[in-house]
Chains A and B, each alone.
Chain A
Amino acid sequence: MCLSIPGKLTSIIAQLDDTFRIGKVSFGGIMREVNLAMVPEAKIGDYVLVHVGVAIGTIDEEEAHKTLEYLKKTGELEEELKGAPGE
Chain B
Amino acid sequence: MKHLTEYRDTALVEEYLQQLRAITTRPWTIMEICGGQTHSLVRNGILDMLPGNITMVHGPGCPVCVTPLGIIDEAIELASRPQVILCSFGDMLRVPGSVRSLLEVKATGGDVRIVYSPLEAVKIAKDNPDREVVFFAVGFETTAPANALAVIQADKMQLKNFSVLASHVLVPPAMEAILSDPECKINGFLAAGHVCTIMGIEEYYPIAEKYKIPIVVTGFEPVDLLQGILMTVQQLENGVHKVENQYTRVVLREGNLAAQKAIQAVFEVSDRSWRGIGMIPQSGYEVKESYSHYSARQKFKLDLQSTQEHSVCISGSIMKGLKKPHDCPAFGKTCKPEHPLGAPMVSSEGACAAYYQYKSSTETVPLA
Residues of A within 8 A of B (CB): 1-4, 16, 19-20, 35, 37-40, 49, 51-54, 56-57, 59-60, 63, 66-67, 69-70, 73-74, 81-85
Contact = CB atoms under 8 A, between A and B. Distances in A.
Contacts of B43: 74
Contacts of B249: 59-60, 63
A81 B116 contact: yes
B90 interface: yes
Contact of B34 (A2, A52, A67): A2
A2 B262 contact: no
A1 B140 CA distance: 11
B156 A16 contact: yes
A85 B124 CA distance: 12
B250 interface: yes
Contacts of B116: 52-53, 81-85
B115 interface: yes
Interface in B247-264: 249-250, 252, 256, 258-259, 262
Nearest to B89: A1
Interface string B82-126: 000000011100000000000000000000001111111000000
B262 A38 contact: yes
Given A19-B258, A49-B250, A56 B142 contact: yes
B120 A53 contact: yes
A53 B63 CA distance: 17
Interface of B: 6-8, 34-36, 43, 61-64, 89-91, 114-120, 139-140, 142-143, 145-146, 149, 153, 156, 194, 197-198, 220-221, 249-250, 252, 256, 258-259, 262, 347, 349
A51 B262 CA distance: 15
Nearest to A80: B116
B114 A83 contact: yes
A28 B324 CA distance: 37
Given A57-B250, A83-B114, 15 more contacts: A1-B143, A1-B347, A2-B36, A3-B220, A38-B258, A38-B259, A49-B197, A51-B143, A53-B116, A56-B197, A56-B259, A63-B249, A81-B116, A85-B116, A85-B117
Nearest to A60: B249
A50 to B, nearest CB: 9
28 contacts: A2-B34, A2-B35, A2-B36, A2-B61, A2-B62, A2-B140, A4-B142, A19-B258, A35-B146, A37-B149, A37-B258, A37-B262, A38-B149, A39-B256, A51-B143, A51-B146, A52-B146, A56-B142, A56-B256, A57-B197, A57-B252, A59-B249, A60-B249, A67-B221, A69-B8, A81-B116, A82-B90, A85-B116
Contact of A52 (B118, B153, B198, B347): B118
Given A2-B140, A16-B156, A74-B43, A56 B198 contact: yes
Given A2-B349, A37-B258, A53 B146 contact: yes
A29 B285 CA distance: 36
B6 to A, nearest CB: 7
A59 to B, nearest CB: 6
A59 B149 CA distance: 21
A4 B197 contact: yes
Contacts of A60: 249
A84 B37 CA distance: 22
Nearest to A62: B249
Nearest to A85: B120
